[in-house]
Structure 1
Amino acid sequence: NPREVLFRLSMWQMQVVEITKALSFNPQAILLDEPTSALAQNEVQNLFEAVKALRDQGVIVIYITHKLHELPQIADTVSVLRDGQLMGTLQMKEVQHKDIIDLMFGEVKIQSRPKDIQIKDEVVMEVKGLSREKWYKDVNFSLRRGEVLGIAGMLGSGRTELLRGIFGADPPDSGEVLIEGKSYKKTNPIKMKIAGVGLTPENRQLEGLILIHSILDNLCYASIDLTSNGLIENKGKRKLFAEKQVRELEIKTATMDIPCNSLSGGNQQKVVLGNWLNTSPKIMLYDEPSRGIDVSAKQQIFEIIWAQARKGIATVFVSTELEELLEVCHRILIMRHGKIVGEVDPDKTRINELYEICTRGD
């Protein structure tokens, strides 16, 4: 429906609208900042064709991305910035993937899933018959303590909506969520937070942070009941809670008093995560936690997830980047058209196999 109000659209649909609007002006130069961060593969290819057509017409295209595998398909030259400084400009046909990473970060160690994480037999969360009209239907799965469970699927498969339903942000029409055996039906985020559930949303800037507020404030919103004495805030407690997350998550900032909109995408994501870790959750729901952040920051986020798993925190991890699911998760559920249709073992599944399973029409 072309008359639909934008705020009702999902993030990937908003991104398609934004890109289409930018291309409609017949520009002489166009700047695309992470344009594919919420697009499916077929939409990415359509965008690349449009960009190449613009280039052939003499339009200057500046394309900013952390998805380095896109560069050979779209770029003639690549310029690398690090800490606000130009590290170099190279001809794309003369450069390799590793060369770009070295310019961006120096040496970055790509971690694999640790073998020392102990998944307990105890089921900490069970989803039974969860349904929401038009989005997902009769979803059932269980999550064990210390487990990192992935949900794979194409954009529009209902993954984000399912996480929001579990968390009570968009309550399901039917079904229940059991947390440590206690049933929650048609609940809300406040009740789920009390039950020990946290959610890092798909759009961190719109739903996960108040960007004009300080880092300190954003780190303490979810734990406000723990950092106040009744109706009066305890500034000392707030500072201790915030300092703990800045230290443990290695949030890069000179002071906690600056607004969150001054941070990089990776550090903003750490603030979203730290806000929930301050509540001492039992279960964390991650919706696209690595979207729009660089290779180094992604590895740091994955390390944080694994470190929490060692402490017994159970995780549900949703990502459009299927390679990440294979790298991070102990088990992966397949979601198509709002239904869980299968499960794969990351240690026995290749990326092309996972992609094929997710895109089947059956």
Structure 2
Amino acid sequence: MGWLDAVRGIAALLVAVDHSSYAFLAESREHLMPQLNIGRYGVMLFFLVSGYVIPASLERRGCVRTFWTGRAFRVYPLWAAVVGTVALLDQLGVAQVRARFAGRDPVTVAVAHLTLLQELLGTPSVVLVLWTLSYELAFYLLVVALFTVRLHRRPATVAVVLAISAAVSATAAFVPRPWALSSVIGAGPLVALASAALVIAVRLGSSGSSALRVPGAVAGGVLALVLVAFNGTVPLWEGLVILAVMFLGTAVRRAESGESTLPRLARTTAVVLVCAVGSAYAQGDGDHFVRRGWITAFLLAALTFGVALALRRRTFPRALTWLGTISYSVYLVHPVLLAVSDRVIGRCRHDSLLLEAAFFAVLLPLSALTYRLIELPGLARGRRRINRIRST
């Protein structure tokens, strides 16, 4: 869909601009961030798109096993290339990664990353943008659980429950600290337990036997909720808002297809927006962002998605849809390029639009190359694997 590609393109561009502004637009960033958190703007757009697309993909396949297979071949090839490149750059002294893992067991770090849940397992990400994949995977686990127990047609209810829970947690006297579970039982034991639970949940959830499939899928959903609630890197309220936003995207898809009503969607949207903004207002003085900047970003993401949806039958600029096609590469590759540029030319004290433009002049062709050489072959292998599964 052209409009979804356009939204992905905008989201990828926003995140890349946010991170590159540290190096090339420091002055503008200092003035803008308190008013608009550009990175959260892009990330929330990505989450809305995931909510719109992922459950539909599972329902279209009608098979949990092929769903996980498709996701694995979509995510892991580029992920592995980027993580491997960063590890190599770190060995060469270009990327400064090892300091982030001082005192941590390398095996624990590696296993946590292989699950994609590292940000929910007390382990910093090798590449900072990978934190969103942890929340994406938590969403996948919840979607599979709901699909398996036949509650997947009620995304509006799930979104409302999550949004209200976020608001309640934002005003609660006790709020879990980031990585609370890891602090209690240790990162190593938690990674071991969660990794085993994830493997069991995926394998049993993909089983042909309902006696195994249901408990496996439900266990995966419970794992996701526990990790987001008690071991996330973002505050509890924001983790719940992220999940609510993704299920809101699913509710939009239901309403568009006629499986739900527009009034129901309007009520759901109102609840999610009010609870999210209220939560940020109540708890938005944390160190990792400024309250106003987060709220503005969140509302702009919702508005951007809504406008694009309203214009979905229009033709979007080809450049924007092309950017959406390579958006995953843009998202994962730009931190690697920034690590190289930091080492080679350093960071500017004053704004340099020329260097910012030069950065994107290198990033976009490089992302198109990784899309062609890594993403497309991975997707092709995934399709072949799925066809073999279906033929057995």
What is the TM-score of this pair, normalised by structure 1? 0.27
Q: Which has the higher strand share?
A: 1
What is the TM-score of this pair, normalised by structure 2? 0.25
